[in-house]
Amino acid sequence: MTEIEQLKQDHAAIKAAVDVHKKYGQGTPSDTVDHIERRIARLEAEAADPWRDAKAAAITVEKNMPLTQYYEKQLARYVRHLESENSAKDARIAELEAREDGK
């Protein structure tokens, strides 16, 4: 690779990094890297357990601490999810009991 090709490649990489830094606007480039790493970790945690925030809200309620509107919504969504799961399980139990009675 010639020097000019290397410089063009480096320039493109630095320009891309500056554009990302401007997009997230976190102060220094190091702050931007930290911000992106934290965001990736949070998204991975959410993917692993989509009810993570709702469970955290439940713990907050147990400690008699106030909830933010976001956590109230997450907790309400989680309760509806659990109710739906319980209804499905109840229906399955009733189905199995009906089969058992029919034998």
Same structural domain, 6 and 44? yes
CA distances from 43 to 36, 37, 69, 70, 94 (A): 10, 10, 20, 16, 38
Q: CA–CA separation, 50 vs 53, rounded Å?
A: 8
Answering whether pTM is above 0.85, one says no
Residue span of the structural domain in which 57 resides: 51-103
Instruction: Give residue-wise pLDDT tens across range 36-51.
Output: 899 999 889 888 888 8
Torsion angle in degrees (nearest 10) through CA of 19, 33, 39, 10: 40
Instruction: Give residue-wise pLDDT tens across range 66-85.
Output: 888 988 888 898 899 999 99
Please give the average per-residue pLDDT across 78-94, as a whole number. Answer: 91
Instruction: Give residue-wise pLDDT tens across range 18-31.
Output: 888 888 877 888 88
Please give the average per-residue pLDDT across 84-88, as a whole number. Answer: 91
Same structural domain, 76 and 92? yes
Same structural domain, 9 and 39? yes
Same structural domain, 77 and 34? no
